[in-house]
Amino acid sequence: MRHLKILAVALTLSAAIGPAVAAPQVPTIAAAVAASDRNADNVKMDAGRKPAEVLQFLGLKPGMHVLDLFGGNRYWAEIIAPAVGASGTETVWGPTQGVPEKMKSAFAAFVAKQPNANLVLTPLQSPDFGINRYDFAIFNLNYHDLYGDYSKRGIPQIEPREWLKALYKAMKPGGVVGVIDHVANPGDTRATANSLHRINPETLKADFESVGFVLAGTSDLLRNKADDHTLIVYDPKIRGMTDRVVLKFRKLR
């Protein structure tokens, strides 16, 4: 009888609590890349960018809070936002001077169906990312732009290492920043960035390390020995196939 009473109590509690609700399924990175609702123009870039392999190398995980720098075209957002799941977030930062209304509208439509994503705009010369907010950041093919000349648009010359201090403050201790950029030969960094939209990887490493980041890994996923680094990255001969470095930096504390 005692066992029957215990069973009856257990059944009563089970009925009161109700059936267990399964946690929402978070797609794998590969599944997010393969999703049918991604922008067609973005999908065309996958062959040259290898997004699944890059994000796996960098260590993207569900639940992470992600900062996506210069990501207004939603290329990474369409993959990362689903892959981090509802417990994670995807914050795209863009410069107020470089995000047109059409891009803002398209991003708003994306957020309507992917509510863990958002777009934040601040001036290029004075980025505001917040403090200790992010576990992961991605900086894709844009770091060299910090060496660009935007004087015709009324933007003062940027000091990249000062700019990076804001990024360092925004990362949580242990946070990872993945940087991908077009490789340049050694030379004048500003001149090369303006003329070819490339950067010497040694300059890039030195800049990040100067503000406290530690190089935690490199990958040859996007290297291309056929690129001799002398063509502008938009040249049809090399566009989408440039020699690119993939670097993984970490904020230790």
**DSSP notation for 209-226:** HHTT-EEEEEE-TT--TT
On the question of pLDDT at 12 being above 50, the answer is no
- Give 92's strand partners: 68, 119
- Give 12's strand partners: none
On the question of pLDDT at 81 being above 50, the answer is yes
**Cα torsion for 134, 139, 142, 148, to the nearest 10°?**
50
Share of the chain above pLDDT 90, in %: 87
pLDDT value at residue 98:
87
What's the pLDDT tens digit per position in 23-55?
556 789 999 999 999 999 999 999 999 999 999
Q: Is the pTM of this model over 0.85?
A: yes
Taking residues 237-251, what's their average pLDDT?
Answer: 97
What's the pLDDT tens digit per position in 194-215?
999 999 999 999 999 999 999 9
Architecture of domain 26-250: 3-Layer(aba) Sandwich (3.40)
Distant-in-sequence, close-in-space partners of 216: CB < 8 Å, separation ≥ 6: 176, 248, 249, 250
In the chain, what are the domain boundaries? Answer: 26-250
Report the chain's mean pLDDT, rounded to a whole number: 91
Residue of 179, 190, 181, 178 lying closest to 227 (CA atoms): 181
Pairing of strands 171-182, 244-250: antiparallel
- Give 218's strand partners: 247
> For the purposes of burial, counting CB atoms within 10 Å of the CB of 78, is it exposed (0-12), middle (13-18) or buried (19 or more)?
buried
pLDDT value at residue 24:
59
On the question of pLDDT at 101 being above 70, the answer is yes
pLDDT value at residue 52:
97
pLDDT value at residue 4:
39
pLDDT band at 18 (very low <50, low <70, confident <90, very high): very low
